[in-house]
């Protein structure tokens, strides 16, 4: 066992001992913050673990193709642009239903496996467009909506809650909310918990994905604490970023969030999902993320109910790699039109 692994294990064992010593029960209606104030993440150990992941060689040939097709099923295919219209939402939804060209899937004998993306993700005002387009395509892919003053979260709480309710009324079955980063940076953990609890209530039966905007939280210790508070408050997923920050999904942040998910599961038996988002553009990136999930949380988390990748450009590169695997050459731009 290498030094980096040992250090990481020591950090995690230390963290687990702190949790056990304070006898914490993580409920969705109450919380105990006495132990969270004592948590300190060992940043050098986390960074060494992240370097291990990035240094590994990826799988090749048919194994790579298989993992890339699996990665497609985890993608929340996203458009969050100021110039979104019904026509490009319609194209997005069509691509979500048919993410890989049919002839390529037939060559891999995967044409009858029902491969689609996990969801489409849009602004609240475009939810109706997405629901309409997917219904017209005869597709049951979920519609996810960002909300609560995305991406900054700096609007009044009443306005943010109303935005969640409207998105759900329009047909969104998954809501990606952003937290108020001020509450993390100033250590107002109870206020953060209360706010997310209100988001949870506003979502009703819709799944709640809580965006931590980790690039703006100041430290890995804050990332861990915010992750735990979000899960205590009833989040179904915790998500790294909005994709609009200067720093988005990174492996050090992911390791801390995944360890928080694992600890929460140990304490409660409840599995919480994880969604990295922002800056994941290449097929190689997606393979590294799948490998990380497999190692940190196990195969049980490698399903759309517990793992998503927020991306817009990623699917294009995955399809290019599948095309290369099947034909032996890379596709021209016009060969694989993207939405």
Q: Catalytic residue numbers?
A: 176, 239, 275
- CA gyration radius for the chain? 20
d(CA 145, CA 174): 6
Contacting residues for 252 by C-beta, under 8 A, at least 6 apart: 43, 46, 47, 49, 50, 220
d(CA 302, CA 326): 25
d(CA 267, CA 264): 5
3-class state of residue 145 by DSSP: strand
3-class state of residue 279 by DSSP: coil
CA 164 to chain centre: 18
d(CA 291, CA 286): 9
DSSP string over 49-84: HHHHHHHSPPP-HHHHHHHHHHHHTTEEEE---TT-
Sign of CA dihedral 153, 155, 158, 164: negative
Contacting residues for 85 by C-beta, under 8 A, at least 6 apart: none
Q: Is 321 left (phi over 0), alpha (psi -120 to 50) or beta?
A: alpha
């Amino acid at each position: 066992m290498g030094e980096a692994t040992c250090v990481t294990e020591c950090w995690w064992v230390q963290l687990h001992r702190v949790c056990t010593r304070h006898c914490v029960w993580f409920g969705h209606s109450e919380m105990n913050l006495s132990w969270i104030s004592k948590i300190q993440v060992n940043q050098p150990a986390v960074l060494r673990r992240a370097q291990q992941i990035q240094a590994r060689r990826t799988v090749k040939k048919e194994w790579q193709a298989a993992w890339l097709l699996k990665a497609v099923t985890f993608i929340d295919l996203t458009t969050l642009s100021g110039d979104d219209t019904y026509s490009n939402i319609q194209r997005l939804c069509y691509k979500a239903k048919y993410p890989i060209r049919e002839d390529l899937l037939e060559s891999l004998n995967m044409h009858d496996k029902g491969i689609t993306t996990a969801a489409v993700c849009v602004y609240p005002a475009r939810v109706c467009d997405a629901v309409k387009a997917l219904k017209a395509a005869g597709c049951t892919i979920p519609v996810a909506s960002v909300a609560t003053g995305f991406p900054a979260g700096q609007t009044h709480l009443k306005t943010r809650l109303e935005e969640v309710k409207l998105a759900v009324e329009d047909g969104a079955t998954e809501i990606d909310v952003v937290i108020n980063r001020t509450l993390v940076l100033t250590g107002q953990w109870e206020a953060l918990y209360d706010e997310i609890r209100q988001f949870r209530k506003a979502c009703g039966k819709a799944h709640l994905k809580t965006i931590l905007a980790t690039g703006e939280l100041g430290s890995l210790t804050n990332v861990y604490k915010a992750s735990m508070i979000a899960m205590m408050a009833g989040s179904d997923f915790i998500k790294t970023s909005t994709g609009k920050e200067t720093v988005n999904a990174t492996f050090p942040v992911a390791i801390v969030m995944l360890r928080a998910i694992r600890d929460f599961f140990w304490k409660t038996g409840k599995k919480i999902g994880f969604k990295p988002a922002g800056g994941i553009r290449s097929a190689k990136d997606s393979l590294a993320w799948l490998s990380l999930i497999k190692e940190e949380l196990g195969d049980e988390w490698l399903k759309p109910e517990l793992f998503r990748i927020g991306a817009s450009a990623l699917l294009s590169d995955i399809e290019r790699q599948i095309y290369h695997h099947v034909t032996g050459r890379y596709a021209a731009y016009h060969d694989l039109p993207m939405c």
